[in-house]
């Protein structure tokens, strides 16, 4: 195996299963020492279990790599601090933070409770901030570091029943860009990955109709290990000039995603009134309006 990450230390949240596990094992195979963080909770964030993180550590060590397990919650700022301190105590430094941990509490919007809203925001958005903040000072002092955050097309494009998840994932995009801007002077990078992968996070999709069965069959082609190569590269010195970007990975496809920029403008020298907005501005702009797309509308072809 290549030593692309030789000598580097990575903290990877939610790495006891699925996408996170794939990243942890591939980073270790490329020479990184890894803090395998996983609270071991259910998809909804309830409960704890230390065994998933321990199993990944055992697998990495069996393959000749270095890893330690961590069971702290990303939603706890003190827990996030302990993850980074564990990297420093165990391996002497920290070079890469992969913010992958997540939960789902899907509800149609008018049924979304404050409890479900706050739980998802805490893990995804606050979790990204907590772990990134814990590492940022160390990155600044050493003059290097890479953040890899996980977003979703549920936020970038849209999806039904996921207002909490979509809002958190779009918040992560803004957080990543701000980190990239604020810390570029210290050679610290921050990028996002939007993954398409079959995991327990989407394993609850119903298969009650032939159409749903066909959709799930396609999703199952997109295994979590397909996400890891991009995360590994983003953590490497080869990505020194890559920051502030949003990528997506779908099976064997890698996408660079767009970022909001002006699409069309209208001008009225004397200013606008509500009436002229309706008579002039909107007729000029409406042909450029976006439809109420969901991810499947935009990525409408079969995974390749």
Phi, psi dihedrals of residue 247, rounded to the nearest 5°: -115, 160
Distance between CA atoms of residues 297 and 81, nearest Å: 40
The CA-based angle 166-149-106, given to 5 degrees, is 25
The CA-based angle 55-129-61, given to 5 degrees, is 20
Query: Is 186 among the residues known to form the active site?
Result: no
Residues in the chain: 304
Contacts of 249 (CB under 8 A, 6+ apart): 193, 194, 195, 196, 197, 226, 227, 230, 255
Contact at 8 Å (CB) between 94 and 81? Answer: no
Q: Which of 165, 196, 198, 233 is catalytic?
A: 165
Element (H, E) at 256: strand 253-256
| Residues forming beta bridges with residue 56, ordered by sequence position | none
Burial of 179 (0-12, 13-18, 19+ CB in 10 A): buried
Cα 210 to chain centroid distance, Å, stands at 31
Give one word for 244, left, alpha or beta, with left for phi > 0 and alpha for psi -120 to 50.
left
| Sequence-ordered alpha helix ranges (H) in the chain | 18-29, 51-62, 77-91, 114-121, 127-142, 153-156, 163-183, 210-221, 228-235, 274-276, 282-285, 295-298
List active site positions.
Answer: 165
């Amino acid at each position: 195996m290549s030593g692309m990450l030789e000598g580097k230390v990575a903290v990877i949240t939610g790495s006891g299963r699925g996408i996170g596990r794939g990243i942890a094992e591939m980073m270790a195979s490329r020479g990184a020492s890894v803090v395998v963080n996983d609270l071991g909770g259910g998809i909804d964030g309830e409960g704890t279990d230390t065994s998933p993180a321990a199993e990944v550590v055992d697998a990495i060590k069996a393959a000749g790599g270095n890893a330690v397990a961590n069971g702290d919650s990303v939603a706890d700022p003190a827990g996030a601090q302990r993850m980074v301190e564990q990297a420093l105590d165990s391996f002497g430094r920290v070079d890469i933070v992969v913010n992958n941990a997540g939960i789902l509490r899907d509800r149609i919007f008018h049924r979304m409770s404050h409890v479900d809203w706050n739980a998802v925001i805490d893990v995804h958005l606050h979790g990204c901030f907590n772990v990134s903040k814990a590492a940022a000072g160390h990155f600044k002092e050493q003059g290097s570091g890479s953040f890899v955050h996980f977003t979703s097309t549920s936020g970038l494009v849209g999806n039904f029943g996921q207002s909490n998840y979509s809002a958190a994932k779009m918040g992560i995009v803004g957080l990543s860009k701000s980190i990239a801007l604020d810390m570029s002077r210290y050679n610290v990078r921050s990028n996002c990955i939007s993954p398409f992968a079959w995991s327990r996070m989407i394993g609850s999709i119903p298969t009650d109709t032939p159409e749903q069965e066909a959709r799930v069959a396609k999703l199952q082609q997109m295994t979590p290990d397909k996400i890891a190569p991009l995360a590994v590269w983003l953590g490497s010195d080869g990505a020194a000039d890559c920051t502030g970007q949003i990528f997506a990975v779908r099976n064997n496809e890698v996408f660079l995603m767009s970022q909001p920029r002006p699409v069309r403008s209208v001008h009225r020298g004397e200013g606008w009134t509500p009436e002229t907005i309706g008579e002039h501005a909107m007729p000029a702009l409406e042909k450029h309006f976006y439809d109420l797309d969901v991810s499947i509308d935009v990525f409408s072809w079969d995974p390749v």
